[in-house]
Amino acid sequence: MKTVVGLFERPQDAERAIDALESAGFVQDEISALAQDRIIKEHFDGEQIKPVEVATGLGAVGGSAIGGLAGLLAGVGAITVPGIGAVLAAGALASTLAGVVVGGSAGGLVGALIGMGLPEEDAEFYAEGVKRKGVLIAVQSQGGHASMAKNIMKQANAVNVETRRTEWLDQGWVGFDESSEPSADYPAVWLHPGQ
């Protein structure tokens, strides 16, 4: 099984990616999503996402009638992730992350992503992207479906990892720091808001 990950600057792009993945035949069990709780609440105005207790709803899908990002995150409870704060997560990523956080394992989101098969350098980049208000989508798939998932996410405006990582490094970023949550003035994933 291969994990394909995309980071999205805007929840709307993540929604488009999820809708396209589902239209291409990927099922919700293959798709994971993760974003800061407040980013999702701002995007949906708190109306479509109804958190439940972590113990009863972790990674659950709250009804298949709702599609896209809302469908994946409906009914999930917030998880506190070191270095990011409260996040909403669904799918295999939620299960993996819950095991890391609840088990007290070192690594938080970085550890969860490494556990899903990502190299440490990429896991740090994606964790930083979530810290910078991005939406993370992961697809676990077999064979040729992985390249299809990658192409779908690229068409939905997934961030170019190498380009963005280089830009962040040029700005002084040295890696994901899980010792502190982002402040209000922490840089956003996007470089040019509104574009």
Q: What is the pLDDT of residues 21-69, one digit of tens each?
A: 999 999 888 999 999 988 887 876 645 444 333 322 333 333 333 457 7
Question: In the chain, at which residue ranges do the beta strands (DSSP E only) sit?
Answer: 2-8, 31-36, 79-81, 85-90, 135-141
Domain total for the chain? 1
Query: Is 178 among the domain residues?
Result: no
Structure confidence at residue 125 as a pLDDT band (50, 70, 90): very high
Mean per-residue pLDDT for 104-109?
64
Q: pLDDT digit string (tens) for 67-81?
A: 577 666 766 778 888
Domain range for 28 is 2-170
Query: Is 188 among the domain residues?
Result: no
Query: Is 118 among the domain residues?
Result: yes
| pLDDT at position 142 | 80
Query: Is 189 among the domain residues?
Result: no
Query: Is 144 among the domain residues?
Result: yes
Q: Positive or negative, the Cα torsion across 91, 93, 95, 98? A: negative
- 6 has pLDDT over 90: yes
The distance of Cα 79 from the centroid of its chain, to the nearest Å, equals 13
Number of helices (H) and strands (E) in the chain: give both, helices first.
Answer: 9, 5
| pLDDT at position 102 | 53
- 123 has pLDDT over 50: yes
| pLDDT at position 78 | 80
Question: How deeply is 92 buried, as exposed, middle or buried, from its count of CB atoms within 10 A (0-12, 13-18, 19+)?
Answer: buried
Query: Is 187 among the domain residues?
Result: no
| pLDDT at position 3 | 92
| pLDDT at position 136 | 96
More confident residue, 116 or 75: 116
Q: pLDDT digit string (tens) for 132-190?
A: 999 999 999 887 799 999 999 999 999 999 999 999 999 999 999 988 888 888 888 87
Q: Check if the beta carbon of residue 84 is closer than 8 Å to that of residue 124.
A: no
Query: Is 129 among the domain residues?
Result: yes
Query: Is 184 among the domain residues?
Result: no
| pLDDT at position 101 | 54
- 12 has pLDDT over 70: yes
What's the rounded Cα separation, in Å, for the pair 188 and 113? 21
Instruction: Report angle CA 49, 25, 36 to the nearest 5 degrees.
Output: 30
